[in-house]
Amino acid sequence: MKIPLSYTFRSLWTRKLTTLMTVTGVALVVFVFAAVLMLAYGLEKTLVDTGYDDNVICTRKASQGELSSQIDRDAINQIKTYPEIKLSKEGKPLASAEMYTVINLHKIGSGDMSNVVVRGVAPEAFELRPNITMKEGRMFALGTNQIIVGTNINQRFDGTQIGESIEFAGDHWQIVGVMDAAGTGFDSEIWGDAERILSAFNRSNAYSSMTFRLNNKEDFEKLRDRVAKEPRYNYVELKRERVFYREQSEAMSMFITILGTVITVIFSIGAMIGAMITMYSSVANRTIEVGTLRALGFKRRNILSAFLIEAMMITFIGAGVGLALASTLQFFAISTMNFTSFSELSFGFALSPSIILNCIIFAIVMGLFGGFLPSIRAARMNIVNALRAS
């Protein structure tokens, strides 16, 4: 690279307005691209963080999620006796057989109805998921209609403050606490006593799932195969909790990524054409400069790379601006349908180093494509003709 970067940079600076407009175009595209990646990543993170490595979740084979899964009390009791399951502080199996269903609540403000997950849990549920803490109020008491709500529910739905009560399964349920699940999917759930909720829904023998902790995570495959060979309950499928939640997020994050990529590609064509027009006019305005540089002994490829670098500098700055804008999205929460439970799930935009890298590469590629033809034109100029231009 013989032609100094300062020449390129100052040439951009002297055309502040066109440079700024092109940078803005690129920044918008990078912003959209980054937002999409951040959204998909945020969703994945919310759902994947919901799971633990040494936790195992049992659901009915071929069920799409916990909502359509049913496991008999018998099977639950049998599996609970497996010695690979860790013991709780009380010396009981660290396992929570749970009931999972959705109810309707009114949103604060709009008053629209939305689905919300109700999860009946065993007392062990909290030891199984140590990132869940009580934020306000207290734990529900076993055998009662007391419930606690996740932070997102508490903030978004009517009647979910401590002391208030909501109605479902033909009964009133009193809110006694707010739990903080550290941004995981549980923040969008309502928890109560599993046995009480099962009987309220008249499902006394049919749990939805069971989650338990392994003594040793390497035991998972052994245990899974053992359950699969048991004729009385081989309809139960064991999955590592992390894998389970990742699978839950896959469809949605794929949808976001594909839709977002399509939008980004369309936008990026616009931005590339913008960069191309800017670079064509930049080349046209500097015909004599190019002729002079060539006369002084600079080669065609020096000219080519100077203009390519100029185009990439524009898109690189655009990437910086777009990423800076996108990073502010981290302060917004998005709530969407969880496709597998059709319930409301809150999650945020999350930035990662790989998203930053992707955006920068994407921007530089836009610069390369947008700058390519104009740079070729500059490099192909005939010296004498370029010097005669005025």
Partner 1 sequence: MNNSSTIVSVQNISKSYWREKLEIPVLSNISFDIPDGEFLSLMGPSGSGKTTLLNLIAGIDRPTSGTITVSGNNITSLNETSLAKWRSNNVGFVFQFYNLLPVLTAYENVELPLLLTKLSKKEKKEHVQFALETVGLADRMDHSPKQLSGGQQQRVAIARAIVTDPTLLVADEPTGDLDKHSAEEIMILLERLNSELKKTIIMVTHDPRAAEKAHTTKHLDKGELS
Ligand X SMILES: Nc1ncnc2c1ncn2[C@@H]1O[C@H](COP(=O)(O)OP(=O)(O)OP(=O)(O)O)[C@@H](O)[C@H]1O
What is the Cα–Cα distance from 149 to 323, expressed in whole angstroms? 35
Position 270 contacts partner 1 (CB under 8 A): no
Q: Which residues inside 6-35 make contact with ligand X, applying CB under 6 A?
A: none
Which residues are CB-neighbours of 292 under 8 A, at least 6 positions away? 387
The DSSP secondary structure of 42-103, one letter per residue, reads: HHHHHHHHTS-TTEEEEEETT-SSSTT--EEHHHHHHHHT-TTBPB-TTSSBSEEEEEEEEE
The single residue among 293, 312, 314, 381 that binds partner 1, judged by CB under 8 A, is: 293
Tokens 């594909």 sit on residue: 258
Q: Residue 375 Cβ, how far from partner 1 at the closest point, in Å?
A: 18
What sign has the CA pseudo-torsion 35, 38, 44, 48?
Answer: negative
In the DSSP assignment, the letter for residue 122 is: -
- Token couple for 155: 């903030």
Interface with partner 1 by CB under 8 A: which range of 98-106, 144-152, 192-200, 287-295?
A: 287-295
Q: Residue 388 Cβ, how far from ligand X at the closest point, in Å?
A: 6
Residue 11 contacts residue 282 (beta carbons within 8 Å): yes
Helix, strand or coil, per DSSP, at residue 345: strand
Which residues are CB-neighbours of 325 under 8 A, at least 6 positions away? 27, 31
Position 384 contacts ligand X (CB under 6 A): yes
Residue 240, contacted partner among partner 1, ligand X, none, CB below 5-8 A by kind: none
- Partners of residue 189 on adjacent β-strands: 117
Position 247 contacts partner 1 (CB under 8 A): no
Residues in the chain: 390
Nearest residue (CB) to ligand X, 1 versus 384 = 384
Position 17 contacts partner 1 (CB under 8 A): no
The span from the first CA to the last CA of the chain, in angstroms, equals 27
Position 2 contacts partner 1 (CB under 8 A): yes
Helix, strand or coil, per DSSP, at residue 334: strand
Nearest residue (CB) to ligand X, 352 versus 385 = 385
Nearest residue (CB) to partner 1, 25 versus 291 = 291
Return the H-helix or E-strand segment holding 136.
strand 133-137
Q: Residue 387 Cβ, how far from ligand X at the closest point, in Å?
A: 9
Residue 387, contacted partner among partner 1, ligand X, none, CB below 5-8 A by kind: partner 1
- Partners of residue 347 on adjacent β-strands: 334
Position 6 contacts partner 1 (CB under 8 A): yes
Nearest residue (CB) to partner 1, 10 versus 92 = 10
Position 279 contacts partner 1 (CB under 8 A): no
Interface with partner 1 by CB under 8 A: which range of 53-61, 136-144, 297-305, 326-334?
A: 297-305
Nearest residue (CB) to ligand X, 176 versus 386 = 386
* Contact footprint for partner 1 (CB under 8 A): 2-4, 6-7, 10-11, 13-14, 288-289, 291-300, 383-384, 387
